[in-house]
Amino acid sequence: MWVLLLVGLPCVLGLNKPLLSEETLARRKLNRFIKDDPENSMCWERHGADGWMSVIDTHNHFRPFYGPSVPFFTYLDWMINHGILFSTIFGIGQKLVKANPADPECCYYLHCPNLNYTVVPNPENDRLNALEFTQHYQGNATLEEKIHLTLSMTFPNLQQPQRIVSNFNNLENSFPEAFTWAGEINVFKHALASNGFFEQERVTVSRIEKGEYDGLFGVLSDKSWPTTLHCDLGCDNYDKVPVNEDPTNRISGCHVPAEEVRLAKIQHQWWKETLGPFYYSFFDKTNNPRPTFSKVQHLKVWDAILTKYPNMITVWAHLGGLSKELRDLHPHIHTHILRVMFQKYPNLHIDLSWDVLAKQNLMNHKADANIDDLSHENHVDFNEDTEFLFNSSDVDALRKELHETWEIHEDLVQRSGSITGPSYSMAVYLELFHEFSDRFVTGTDFVASFGQKEDYPGTKNGNGCVKDIPNHARQLTDTSSINMFLNDEVFKKIVLGENFFRMIGQADVFSAPPVCGDSMLPLEVIIGVSVGVGVLLVLVAALLLVLYCVKNKDGGGVNFTRVVGDNNATTNV
């Protein structure tokens, strides 16, 4: 046993090594993705030296809601050292505005959740991003050889679209040909309910059909810019959004306005066709919306945008409208909705961004989790009128298969991540990822904020908004974790960029490398069945531990930075 402890010591001491090994970083370079480059033909060892961590971040906020951002070159250095080769440059399209100048400074809306701190769309972040992009990145051969950046406009305010076109033209004229993406643009965002989002006029089907957004979405369609839209599908809780703290806030909870309820009943046939077997989960037999309708209340507006602008390359953020405020929508219902949308709209895509979704929906398995919680007999989305049978045995079996893959990588992931393993929901969504593999892209939703707590205490929390390199490592690890379950063909499309290169119109320049088709055997097979006595067991375990450490050090692409403590900044969107 002493032998085991001694040979294991280097692993213990190596917990603070970089996220990726030197070999992995040496292999992660743009040349591997340039079409016709000799290195483009070198196959990707996803379970070996190259790893399964995402190389593309299509949802990346270089600027926060307020306060300073992580310095540009510092943030690029974090990304490059974590193996990111392609990234969008989002700002945050809104800034926090104080009603009372004497109030404390605030850098994140949930640190000041009241109407004295409203979140107001503003093009300033886009202008600052464009300055850094054009002055420090474009023409910088050293950086351009290491990372490919795509600049995005994020400012448009769909609630008040009157100045969108003029602001758009001003930015384009100030920075010709710099912008080639749009978003993240909010359609509905319940997380901002405490900070005035619903104080403005809502986006409605009527406003869309009247053409109020033609000036923006029409131009984006013509330009073929990918456009990332944040549209919550609905909501089922405001546990993290204290709307009731401010007595002047008209929002008292997660409810549907009376006019929307009235329209839903009138338009019930559309809802019946869209929701299919799950219609009675949200409507009763007289076609009145049930309380659960709040979970899907924005679907008709979302569909109206896609119908009005079918040629726009649309990216639905956060796995198709999920959020902290929509926590308990049954995964079978959600995947059904996404299938319907994919089948209707060929230009619709979805980004798999935001570590919250990994920790809340996909990779949050607990030892006491019960598959019966999702059954048609127990889940709140089902009732006596819903004709649906949940095949719990198939989902349970698939989750167990995924867990075998997870166990191979678990120790490596948990050195930098904060997830616990594939959930039953992950087993349900995985089929969708493979069925529509050309519609998904990877992303972190990282917000590169750098506001010190002394300067930005807000009215709650008081921790400021300082991000550091372990924060980025954790969010990249958590959001990348689902990549390990994709088959090789789908991995190539989603993780290695085939979908992304097509979306940005550069498939003639960039090409995903082939995947080696390598696989990892379960740990039990690696260990073997020949261990029969205690002494031999210790020796074999010691040998495996040594090999494990050597692999981590020399080429497994799996040396991680441990993130400890509960006070690290989290994703601020």
Q: What is the pLDDT of residue 519?
A: 52
Split into its structural domains, the chain has a count of: 1
Q: Is residue 568 part of a domain?
A: no
Question: Is position 562 within any domain?
Answer: no
* Burial (Cβ within 10 Å: 0-12, 13-18, ≥19) of residue 536: exposed
Q: How far apart are the first and last CA of the chain?
A: 48
Residue 571 lies in a domain: no
Please report the pLDDT score of residue 13 as a whole number. Answer: 36
Asked if 549 and 14 touch (Cβ cutoff 8 Å), the reply is yes
pLDDT on residue 14: 38
Q: What is the sign of the dihedral through the CA atoms of 358, 363, 365 and 370?
A: positive
Q: What is the pLDDT of residue 535?
A: 34
Q: What's the DSSP call for residue 175?
A: S
**Sign of the CA dihedral 412, 413, 419, 422?**
negative
- Identify the three-state secondary structure at position 410: helix
The predicted pLDDT at position 526 comes to 29
Contacts of 161 (CB under 8 A, 6+ apart): 212, 213, 215, 216
List CB contacts of 466: < 8 A, sequence separation 6 or more. 449, 450, 451, 452, 453, 569
CATH number of the structural domain spanning residue 511 = 3.20.20.140
Ordered alpha helix ranges (H), 345-456: 355-357, 392-414, 424-435
Contact predicate 441/352, CB 8 Å: yes
What is the rounded (10 degree) CA torsion for 122, 125, 130, 135?
140
Distances (CA, A) of 326 to 182, 193, 297: 25, 14, 11
Find, among 291, 358, 312, 71, the residue nearest to 182 by Cα. 312
Residue pointed to by tokens 């050889």: 145
364 vs 555: CA distance, rounded Å: 28
Q: Is residue 565 part of a domain?
A: no
Kindly state the helix (H) or strand (E) to which residue 441 belongs, with its residue range: strand 440-441
The 8-class DSSP code of residue 314 comes to E
Comparing C-alpha atoms, which of 349, 335, 341 is closest to residue 273?
341
Q: Cis peptide leading into 184, omega within 30 of 0?
A: yes
Residue 90: name the closest of 177, 152, 29 by CA.
152
Helix/strand/coil (H/E/C) assignment for every residue in 177-226 = CCEEEEEEEEEECHHHHHHCHHHCCCCCHHHHHCCCCHHHHHHHHHHCCC
Contacts with 193 (C-beta within 8 Å, 6 or more apart), sequence order: 238, 241, 243, 249, 251
Residue 132 lies in a domain: yes
Task: Give the model's pLDDT for residue 379.
Answer: 95
Q: Give domain status of residue 519, yes or no.
A: yes
Does a structural domain hold residue 140? yes
Are the CB atoms for 210 and 216 separated by under 8 Å? no
Q: What's the confidence (pLDDT) of residue 227?
A: 98
Query: What does the block give as tokens for 401?
Result: 């298969």
Residue 92 CA to residue 120 CA, distance in Å, equals 10
pLDDT per residue, tens digit, the chain (573 aa), is 333 333 333 333 334 568 999 999 999 999 999 999 999 999 999 989 999 999 999 999 999 999 999 999 999 999 999 999 999 999 999 999 999 999 999 999 999 999 999 998 899 999 999 999 999 999 999 999 999 999 999 999 999 999 999 999 999 999 999 999 999 999 999 999 999 999 999 999 999 999 999 999 999 999 999 999 999 999 999 999 999 889 999 998 999 999 999 999 999 999 999 999 999 999 999 999 999 999 999 999 999 999 999 999 999 999 999 999 999 999 999 999 999 999 999 999 999 999 999 999 999 999 999 999 999 999 999 999 998 888 899 999 999 999 999 999 998 898 999 999 999 999 999 999 999 999 999 999 999 999 999 999 999 988 999 999 999 999 999 999 999 999 999 999 999 999 999 999 999 999 999 999 865 433 333 233 223 323 333 333 444 443 444 344 333 333 222 233 333 333 334
How distant, in Å, are the alpha carbons of 185, 209, 300, 315 from that of 161? 12, 14, 20, 20
Give every CB contact of residue 80 below 8 A, 6+ residues apart in sequence: 146, 147
- The residues pairing with 44 across neighbouring beta strands, listed in sequence order, are 515
Q: What pLDDT was estimated at residue 16? A: 52
CA angle, 455 then 97 then 167, to 5°: 120
H-type helices in 309-391, by residue range? Answer: 317-321, 331-344, 355-357
Burial class (CB in 10 A: 0-12, 13-18, 19+), 268: middle
Q: What is the pLDDT of residue 556?
A: 33
Q: Do 114 and 195 contact (CB within 8 A), yes or no?
A: yes
The SS3 of residue 437 is helix
Q: Domain limits at 299?
A: 2-554
List beta partners, residue 151: 89, 179
**To 5 degrees, how large is the angle CA 267–CA 271–CA 272?**
110
Q: Provide the token pair at 500.
A: 């992304």
Question: What's the pLDDT score for residue 461?
Answer: 87
What is the structure's pLDDT at 561?
28
pTM of the model: 0.89
C-alpha to C-alpha distance for 175 and 135, rounded to whole angstroms: 11
Query: Is 573 within the bounds of a domain?
Result: no
Q: Which DSSP state fits 104?
A: P
Q: Is 211 left (phi over 0), alpha (psi -120 to 50) or beta?
A: left
Rounded to a whole number of angstroms, the CA Rg of the chain reads 24
